[in-house]
C-alpha cells in the first residue's frame, strides 16, 4: 500500500475553501455535535465502506477525526479505492480554526 498523505491542520485551513476539496469528518454523532469544521461532510467511520461509492472520484478528500487515527484508517481505505485523499494529522485536537455547531 502507498504511503498515506498527511496534511497539518494549518495546511488544511489554507486550502479548504478550494471547490475541488471536500473535508470529511469521520467522528461519531456525539463528537461532531461539539463542533466541526465549516462545510465538512459528516460520514461516521463505520459508514465509510457503504458511503464511499457516492463520493466524486474527481475531488480531493481530506479526512478528519478527533486525533487523526480513525481518519488515517478512513484515508487508507479510500486510497485503496482509488481516491485522492489525505489525512489531517492531529485531528480536531490540533485544529485552531473556527468550528460550527450543528
Backbone angles phi, psi at 36, to 5 degrees: -145, 165
Q: How far is CA 6 from the centre of its chain?
A: 11
The catalytic residue among 65, 85, 88, 92 is 65
**Rounded distance, CA 55 to CA 93, Å?**
26
Backbone angles phi, psi at 76, to 5 degrees: -60, -45
**Rounded distance, CA 68 to CA 63, Å?**
8
Q: Check if 49 is active-site.
A: no
Active site residues: 65
Amino acid at each position: 500500500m502507498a504511503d498515506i498523505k498527511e496534511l497539518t491542520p494549518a495546511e488544511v485551513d489554507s486550502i479548504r475553501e478550494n471547490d475541488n476539496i471536500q473535508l470529511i469528518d469521520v467522528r461519531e454523532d456525539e463528537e461532531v455535535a461539539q463542533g466541526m469544521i465549516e462545510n465538512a461532510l459528516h460520514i461516521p467511520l463505520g459508514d465509510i465502506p457503504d458511503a464511499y461509492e457516492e463520493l466524486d472520484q474527481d475531488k480531493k478528500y481530506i479526512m478528519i477525526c478527533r486525533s487523526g487515527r480513525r481518519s488515517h484508517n478512513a484515508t487508507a481505505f479510500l486510497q485503496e479505492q482509488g481516491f485522492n485523499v489525505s489525512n489531517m494529522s492531529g485531528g480536531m485536537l490540533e485544529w485552531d480554526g473556527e468550528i460550527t455547531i450543528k
